[in-house]
Structures are given as C-alpha cells and as structure tokens.
Amino acid sequence: MLIIGLKGGIATGKSSVSSYIKEKKIPIVDADKIAHDVLKNKNVIKRIIKEFGEQVIDNTTGEVIRSKLGEIVFSNDQKRKALNGITHPKIKMEMFTQVLYNFLIGQRIVIMDVPLLFESGTYHFVNKTVVVSCSKENQLTRLMKRNNFNEEEAKARINSQMSLEEKIKKANIVIDNNETLAETEKQVDDMLEKYTPSKFKNAALYTLLIIPAATAYGVLKGISFFY
C-alpha cells in the first residue's frame, strides 16, 4: 500500500483536492477531523483546562471552544507548543491506526491529509508528499474572499505558516491549483494513475506484512481505548 501525505497552504485549494480524491473512493486519513475528535476526549479536555483554564470550555456542553483556544495559540508560540504536546501524540496514534486499518482491508493507496505534514515530522512516515500550490496573488485573493479578511489580516495568517516555497522544496509532487478545477483534477488523476501500486505488488506486500500489521493495529486500538 502506498501512503501519500497531502499538504497545502491556507487557501491554496487542498480541501478541493482532498474532496475530489474522496469522491474517487480513495481512503483519506483526515488529521483535522481527528484533531476535532481528540478535543472531545475527556482526558485531553482535563489537560487543556489545566493548561489554558476554564475560559476555553463551554459551560453548557463541557466541550472545548475551538475558536477561543485558537485565538490563544495563534499569537503565542509557547501556548501553541503546549497544546501540540497535549493533542499531537493522540492525533498521530489515531492517524496510524487508520492507516493500518486500510492496509489490513486491502487498500492499495491511502492519503494522509495533514496540515502540519512537514512541521510535525509526519512526512517521514509516508511514501510520497504532495503539496497543493498556487500563486501568492491567488492565495491572498482567495483567502480575503473566503474569510472576509482585509489584506493585512490575510497576509498575517499566510505569514504565520511555513512558506509555500519551502513546502514545494520538500514535496515529491506539486499540484498547481492556479487554473480551473478541471485542470487541477486532471493533475490528481495523473498522480494516482502513476503511483497507485498494482494489485499484484500490493498483494505481495500484504502477504509479507499482514501479521506484524495486524499486531500493531491491535496494540494501537488497545492503547487508544485507555489513553
């Protein structure tokens, strides 16, 4: 099974690419969705309260108020590192559990949609890295329109992330999302056709790794039950 790490910049179109891949019935391990679910974990909530206080908790539901938490960590590196220390281990564990599950059911390719693919070191655990890119002008215009930001706000949000240039240098494959959606989807189709392993190759790998993969999956599921 081939594991592809998918990353973009804010407003470059990664979500559109991810949605198109999902339409093709290719499994996607969505780090954002997993992170959202992790914030509902009782043990995680307790640690967040200890670090950030009750101000980030909804008094009615007892759940984390993501917008308030985001405001705190966006402008405070120390707090962002603290939050990552609380959530990232559990997020990574769930991500790799899902990857193993897809291997065990015979999938030939799985996409790991990870916003912090390079920053978190997750790229070390994938076979290929894909970055969805566009021009700086398009990125700025799209972000201002999508989030109703003024130019200063949009630039601040873009500059808070790793630059697109640096992401492109680290990528094995770059999807250019400057033109039409159809042209972007054609690039995705070409990528999948080129890199998806043959059924024979996948079956051989499955036979070789089924026992250790099943063991690892069982261990991770057991840990996640108590963690």
pLDDT in tens, 161-182: 899 999 999 999 999 999 999 9
Question: What's residue 113's pLDDT?
Answer: 96
Average pLDDT over the chain reads: 93
Question: What's residue 158's pLDDT?
Answer: 93
Q: In the predicted model, is pLDDT for residue 198 greater than 70?
A: yes
Q: In the predicted model, is pLDDT for residue 23 greater than 90?
A: yes
Q: In the predicted model, is pLDDT for residue 124 greater than 70?
A: yes
- Confidence (pTM): 0.85
Question: What's residue 226's pLDDT?
Answer: 61
Give the pLDDT mean for 130-143: 96
Q: In the predicted model, is pLDDT for residue 137 greater than 70?
A: yes
Quickly list DSSP for the chain: -EEEEEEE-TTSSHHHHHHHHHHTT--EEEHHHHHHHHTT-HHHHHHHHHHH-GGGB-TTT--B-HHHHHHHHHT-HHHHHHHHHHHHHHHHHHHHHHHHHHHHTT-SEEEEE-TTTTTTSGGGG-SEEEEEE--HHHHHHHHHHHHT--HHHHHHHHHTS--HHHHHHH-SEEEE-SS-HHHHHHHHHHHHHHHSPPHHHHHHHHHHHHHHHHHHHHHHHHHHHH-
Reply yes or no on domain 2-31+94-222 having CATH 1.20.140.10. Answer: no
From 146-155, 174-183, 217-226, the region with the lowest mean pLDDT: 217-226
